[in-house]
């Protein structure tokens, strides 16, 4: 795969169109072509700046000296402001208008058609936001993450509350500007991450899922065959965890020539260029799953980024379909592949080598059981698959109440603790283990959490479709042969980009509209095996 070059801003497919039009001596198409080219160049330039801002943020969260925070906020805000200026240049509206009658764009799922449709949607959206608001939000994000990090370390919610108030005010302002007549302010924010998602529909789906999960968790609780996790709660040397994380990411196909793996307090994946994808994980000395499944999760995101079409980098055909679809890729590798018995049948010899004194005698079956133990817990990123979505439901409800003003930040820590007690059955003893556990709100990501559960739903449905197409994936995984699944995902998900919406993509790949059924089935099968349910 080659990267795009500054001087090659005509995507391949488009060059063909240009050639065709020249052959046919069709002057209008040629005009259209050069207008389209100019339009794309603006967004390619914007991508250069926004990926640079992403590097500023990656650096801020990996190695920036403490003193650098204040100026870093200015740098990021300035760059995000420039991106916004580019993306809302009035010439874009003219270009879009003059391309409205272009034949090459008539199919909204073609590269050109989807590009014009998505850019028009994005443009209308972006134009509603004044540059000043975008810059103030970017600046608040950088300061917010610094203050969140400090507050979490000090276990002191009061250090975080002022910047959370500031962020909520900015997000309410944003939502008011973006919302259409049939949207709430919260839905307008949600729409930014999961285009077309409706809070009411989500509430219904999440309620169904909650009923099923509560039933499943109750069955698991009553099972006579409980899981002893002492094997994975020993002291594991960080250096060995680091090495094993690298092995796992590389084995499933993450390309280290085009990416890297680092450490941070709240794992994430970011893309600095078409061949520069960075994943970050976290190492807990006494809990091995944190690094293993954190790495598989982020590497899943990384595979999506590395699987996209480089020649369309920065444009809709080379972008992700939605955050829910992005999350489906991380969840698939983390859970549907990474927590299976065949996966551990393959990796047991390697984990034994990396942790000889801790796991030298461990069997695949033991590890598989440990990695699938269900136990209501406080921290979302460490939650088992059965309770995970309940963590999301709590956040989904709280952030709606925060945005509507129904809940004040004064009352948030107690509301959080109450919700955890009621929904998950555990009450956080501290803010660090409660409301301060996630970076999202401080990073301006309000309306983002629901995409995690949407991702779980899509992951299960896409995995079923892959199995249907590829046959016995379990055998392939047992042999460490991850290429067939990865290639299926490249073809059916990664290279689709934004030429399909999330719903369209899932339906095209699986033949069915997105539903909760595959996820429920998948969890029931897995836990029946581990907990001997009937």
Active-site positions? Answer: 298
Shortest Å, Cβ 524 to a second copy = 40
Specify the residue, 86 or 151, whose C-beta has the smaller distance to a second copy. Answer: 86
Specify the residue, 149 or 192, whose C-beta has the smaller distance to a second copy. Answer: 149
Shortest Å, Cβ 75 to a second copy = 5
Specify the residue, 256 or 521, whose C-beta has the smaller distance to a second copy. Answer: 256
Instruction: State the Cα–Cα distance between residues 260 and 269, nearest whole angstrom.
Output: 10
Specify the residue, 139 or 510, whose C-beta has the smaller distance to a second copy. Answer: 139
30, 41, 42, 68: which one binds a second copy (CB under 8 A): 68
Burial 16-37 (b: 16+ CB within 10 A, else e): ebbeebeeeeeeebeebbebbb
Specify the residue, 207 or 256, whose C-beta has the smaller distance to a second copy. Answer: 256
Shortest Å, Cβ 304 to a second copy = 17
11, 144, 267, 273: which one binds a second copy (CB under 8 A): 273
Shortest Å, Cβ 49 to a second copy = 7
22, 71, 286, 360: which one binds a second copy (CB under 8 A): 71
Q: What is the chain's percent helix, strand, coil content, to nearest 5? A: 65, 5, 30
Which parts of 218-257 interact with a second copy (CB under 8 A)? 255-257
Which parts of 286-325 interact with a second copy (CB under 8 A)? 313
31, 78, 85, 183: which one binds a second copy (CB under 8 A): 78
Shortest Å, Cβ 401 to a second copy = 32
Place of tokens 């996209």: 308
- C-alpha distances in Å from residue 58, one per residue of 170, 204, 260, 315, 484: 23, 36, 12, 22, 32
- C-alpha distances in Å from residue 236, one per residue of 93, 232, 243, 367: 57, 9, 12, 15
Instruction: State the Cα–Cα distance between residues 196 and 66, nearest whole angstrom.
Output: 40
3, 22, 27, 106: which one binds a second copy (CB under 8 A): 3
Q: Is 74 annotated as a binding residue?
A: no
4 counts as binding a second copy under rule CB under 8 A: yes
16, 22, 28, 63: which one binds a second copy (CB under 8 A): 63
276 counts as binding a second copy under rule CB under 8 A: yes
H/E segment holding residue 154: helix 131-154
137 counts as binding a second copy under rule CB under 8 A: no
444 counts as binding a second copy under rule CB under 8 A: no
75, 147, 291, 319: which one binds a second copy (CB under 8 A): 75
Place of tokens 């280290």: 256
79 counts as binding a second copy under rule CB under 8 A: yes
Which parts of 42-61 interact with a second copy (CB under 8 A)? 45, 48-49, 51-52, 55-56, 59
Give the interface segment with a second copy, choosing from 66-74, 153-161, 239-247, 499-507 (CB under 8 A): 66-74
Give the interface segment with a second copy, choosing from 87-95, 105-113, 156-164, 268-276 (CB under 8 A): 268-276
Burial class (CB in 10 A: 0-12, 13-18, 19+), 79: buried
Q: Classify residue 267 by its DSSP letter.
A: -
- C-alpha distances in Å from residue 123, one per residue of 84, 85, 302, 316: 10, 11, 27, 13
Instruction: State the Cα–Cα distance between residues 229 and 250, nearest whole angstrom.
Output: 27
Q: Which of 323, 343, 291, 269 is nearest to 526 (CA)?
A: 343
Which parts of 413-432 interact with a second copy (CB under 8 A)? none
260, 297, 440, 486: which one binds a second copy (CB under 8 A): 260
Q: Is 368 annotated as a binding residue?
A: no
How many residues bind a second copy, per CB under 8 A?
Answer: 42
End-to-end CA distance of the chain: 48
Q: Which of 414, 344, 383 is nearest to 523 (CA)?
A: 383
77, 446, 457, 460: which one binds a second copy (CB under 8 A): 77
Shortest Å, Cβ 127 to a second copy = 22
73, 141, 370, 393: which one binds a second copy (CB under 8 A): 73
Q: Which of 199, 466, 203, 205 is nearest to 329 (CA)?
A: 466
The structure tokens listed for 449 are 């959490």
Shortest Å, Cβ 63 to a second copy = 6
Residues with Cβ within 8 Å of residue 156, at least 6 apart in sequence = 431
Shortest Å, Cβ 114 to a second copy = 23
Angle ∠(376,381,384) on CA atoms, nearest 5: 40
For residue 76, the number of C-alpha atoms closer than 13 Å in the C-beta half-sphere is 25
23, 25, 65, 534: which one binds a second copy (CB under 8 A): 65
Q: Which of 328, 258, 249, 259 is nearest to 291 (CA)?
A: 249
- C-alpha distances in Å from residue 497, one per residue of 6, 322, 357, 467, 469: 21, 9, 45, 22, 21
- C-alpha distances in Å from residue 267, one per residue of 72, 124, 305: 20, 32, 16
Q: Is 284 annotated as a binding residue?
A: no
Extract the annotated binding site for Zn(2+): 297, 301, 327
Give me the residues that bind a second copy (CB under 8 A), please: 3-6, 45, 48-49, 51-52, 55-56, 59, 63-68, 70-75, 77-79, 82, 139, 255-260, 272-277, 313
């Amino acid at each position: 795969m080659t990267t795009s070059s500054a001087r090659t801003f005509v995507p391949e497919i488009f060059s063909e169109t240009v050639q065709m039009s020249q052959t046919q001596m069709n002057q209008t198409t040629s005009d259209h072509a050069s207008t389209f080219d100019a339009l794309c160049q603006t967004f390619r330039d914007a991508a250069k700046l926004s990926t640079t801002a992403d590097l500023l943020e990656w650096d801020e969260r990996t190695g920036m000296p403490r003193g650098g925070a204040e100026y870093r906020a200015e740098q990021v805000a300035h760059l995000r402001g420039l991106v916004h200026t580019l993306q809302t240049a009035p010439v874009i509206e003219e270009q879009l208008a003059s391309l409205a009658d272009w034949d090459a764009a008539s199919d909204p799922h073609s590269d050109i058609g989807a590009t014009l449709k998505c850019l028009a949607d994005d443009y209308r959206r972006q134009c509603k936001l004044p540059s000043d608001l975008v810059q103030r939000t970017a600046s608040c994000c950088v300061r917010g993450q610094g203050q969140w990090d400090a507050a979490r370390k000090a276990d002191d919610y009061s250090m975080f509350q002022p910047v959370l108030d500031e962020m909520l005010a900015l997000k309410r302002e944003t939502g008011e500007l973006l919302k259409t007549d049939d949207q709430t302010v919260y839905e307008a924010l949600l729409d930014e991450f999961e285009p077309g998602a409706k809070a009411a529909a989500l509430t219904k789906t999440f309620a169904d899922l909650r009923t099923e999960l509560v039933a499943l968790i109750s069955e698991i609780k009553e099972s006579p065959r409980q899981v002893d996790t002492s094997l994975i709660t020993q002291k594991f040397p960080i250096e060995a965890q680091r090495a094993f994380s690298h092995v796992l990411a590389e084995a499933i196909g993450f390309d280290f020539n085009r990416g890297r793996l680092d450490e941070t307090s709240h794992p994430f994946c970011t893309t600095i260029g078409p061949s520069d994808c960075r994943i970050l994980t976290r190492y807990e000395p006494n809990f091995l799953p944190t690094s293993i499944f954190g790495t598989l999760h982020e590497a899943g995101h990384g595979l999506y980024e590395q699987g996209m079409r480089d020649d369309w980098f920065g444009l809709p055909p080379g972008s992700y379909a939605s955050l829910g679809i992005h999350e489906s890729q991380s969840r698939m590798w983390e859970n549907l592949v990474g927590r299976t018995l065949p996966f551990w049948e393959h990796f047991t010899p390697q984990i034994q080598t990396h942790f000889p004194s801790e796991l030298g005698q461990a069997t695949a079956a033991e590890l598989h059981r440990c990695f699938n133990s269900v136990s209501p817990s406080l921290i979302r990123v460490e939650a088992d698959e059965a309770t995970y979505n309940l963590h999301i439901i709590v956040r989904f409800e709280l952030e709606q109440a925060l945005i509507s003003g129904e809940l004040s930040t004064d009352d948030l820590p107690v509301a959080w603790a109450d919700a955890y007690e009621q929904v998950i059955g555990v009450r956080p003893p501290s803010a660090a283990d409660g409301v301060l556990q996630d970076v999202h709100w401080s990073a301006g990501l309000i309306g983002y959490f629901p995409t995690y559960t949407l991702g779980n739903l899509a992951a299960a449905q896409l995995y079923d479709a892959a199995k249907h197409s590829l046959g016995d994936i379990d055998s392939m995984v047992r042999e460490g042969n991850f290429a067939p699944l990865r290639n299926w995902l490249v073809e059916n998900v990664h290279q689709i980009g934004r030429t399909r919406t999330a719903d369209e993509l899932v339906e095209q790949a699986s033949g069915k509209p997105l539903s909760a059924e595959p996820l429920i089935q998948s969890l029931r099968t897995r836990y029946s095996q581990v907990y001997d349910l009937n």
